[in-house]
Structures are given as structure tokens and as C-alpha cells.
């Protein structure tokens, strides 16, 4: 299942003239810009808009966090539309962890290397057939005078026991994508953007918006 929609098909949404991306994560912003650039030529980041805001991600689902970020940035920015993403890794053998705590799995203030080290410790000895996992990305679009919409996309994989590749970020070196036979960190930006969880979510969002435009 590549994505799920969290808005009814009878809702109408116009493509906004200007869009602010509610993120300070340079990797996420680059992916969003590369994927949405053709549809939203007038996008700005928080930094470009001169907005210093750090929304607390205290929700219990990716969708709740994405919606909260989009709506708070919309209110604070004065822009007509704000887009936010919340994403992470879901490991079946860990009951869904790291999940919404993916960015701080090893604790507040820790980095990607710390998070990956903890994940490998927690998964030590787990056989390959039980190392199924998926990346999830919830994308929310908040706009003035309209209901916020949210979609979620997935990418299915297997958790490796050793890092592979130098590209990407986060858990990418340990996420093996079977259809291509490489880890996400072994893919180029173009290859990853074509199959990633964020790609599926953004495509679902665009589909909702294009229904109205048509």
C-alpha cells in the first residue's frame, strides 16, 4: 500500500499561490522542493521567510504531528498555505518503534549515528525474516479558510544489520529497499525521490489538489 488519504474526495482545494514549507530539516526541504517544484513554483522555507519557529512534535501519530506543524506555521507566517511533514521508521519486531520518536530514538540531543546505534542494539540477533520495516511520511497542507488535509505514504523494506551507502540521512543506510536491491543510502537523490515514502505522500496530496483543478 503506497499511500493512504485522510481527506474525502468531495473536498475542494485550490493550488495556493505561495507555499511555506514548515520544516528546518534541510534534507526534507530538498526532497519536497525537488518533488513539488513543478506544481508549486513559489515555495519558501522557514529560513527564507525569516520565520524562527520550532513546533513541538508531541502527537502520538505522524498525522497529528504534521497537522499541528502545518497549522501553527500557517498562523505564524501569514502565508496563504503551509506544508508540513512528519516521518519516521516503523520496525515490526519493535512493535512499531521508533515510530514518531524516530528523530530522538536515542534521546533528546542525539544525532543520526546515535539513533542508528540504538536501533542496531535493539535489533541484535533478530533474523532477517523478522526485520521487516517501513518508512512512513505524513504530509499536511494547511490553508487559509479551508480544512487542513493530510495524507500518508509508505515505503516497505528490510532492516539491514550493517550500514550500506553514503547518501541520504537518518536511517537510510540501514533501510534495504527490495524492488531496487539497494539501501536508501545507496540511491541517488533522484532514485530515492522516485520511490520514497515522502514521494508517495506528496503524490497523494497532489492528486487531491488536481481533482479540484480539473
- String of b and e for 102-134 (b: at least 16 CB within 10 Å)? bbebbeeeeebeebbebbeeebeeeeeeebebb
What is the bridge-based pairing of β-strands 81-91 and 19-21? parallel
- Helix runs in the chain, H state only: 26-36, 62-77, 112-122, 189-195, 197-213
Active-site residue, 86 included:
yes
Contact residues for 177 (Cβ-Cβ < 8 A; gap 6+): 155, 157, 183, 184, 187, 195
What DSSP element (H or E) covers 130? Answer: none
Residue 50: CA count within 13 A, CB half-sphere: 1
Q: Which of 86, 114, 122, 172 is catalytic?
A: 86
Measured between alpha carbons, how far is residue 16 from residues 5, 79, 100, 151, 163 in Å? Answer: 20, 10, 29, 17, 40
Cα 17 from Cα 37, distance rounded (Å): 13
Give catalytic residues, as residue numbers.
86
Amino acid at each position: 500500500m503506497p499511500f493512504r488519504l485522510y481527506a474525502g474526495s468531495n473536498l475542494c482545494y485550490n493550488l495556493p499561490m505561495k507555499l511555506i514549507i514548515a520544516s528546518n530539516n534541510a534534507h526534507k526541504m530538498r526532497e519536497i522542493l525537488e518533488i513539488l517544484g513543478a506544481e508549486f513554483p513559489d515555495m519558501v522555507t522557514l529560513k527564507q521567510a525569516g520565520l524562527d519557529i520550532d513546533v513541538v512534535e508531541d502527537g502520538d501519530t505522524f498525522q497529528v504531528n504534521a497537522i499541528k506543524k502545518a497549522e501553527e506555521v500557517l498562523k505564524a507566517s501569514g502565508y496563504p498555505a503551509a506544508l508540513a511533514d512528519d516521518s519516521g521508521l516503523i520496525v515490526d519486531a519493535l512493535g512499531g518503534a521508533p515510530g514518531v520518536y524516530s528523530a530522538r530514538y536515542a534521546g533528546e540531543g542525539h544525532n543520526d549515528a546515535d539513533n542508528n546505534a540504538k536501533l542496531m542494539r535493539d535489533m541484535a540477533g533478530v533474523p532477517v525474516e523478522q526485520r521487516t520495516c517501513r518508512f512512513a511520511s505524513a504530509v499536511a497542507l494547511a490553508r487559509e479558510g479551508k480544512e487542513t488535509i493530510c495524507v500518508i505514504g509508505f515505503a516497505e523494506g528490510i532492516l539491514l544489520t550493517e550500514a550500506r551507502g553514503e547518501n541520504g540521512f537518518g536511517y537510510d543506510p540501514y533501510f534495504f529497499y527490495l524492488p531496487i536491491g539497494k539501501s536508501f543510502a545507496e540511491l541517488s537523490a533522484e532514485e530515492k525521490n522516485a520511490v520514497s515514502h515522502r514521494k508517495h505522500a506528496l503524490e497523494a496530496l497532489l492528486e487531491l489538489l488536481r481533482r479540484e483543478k480539473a
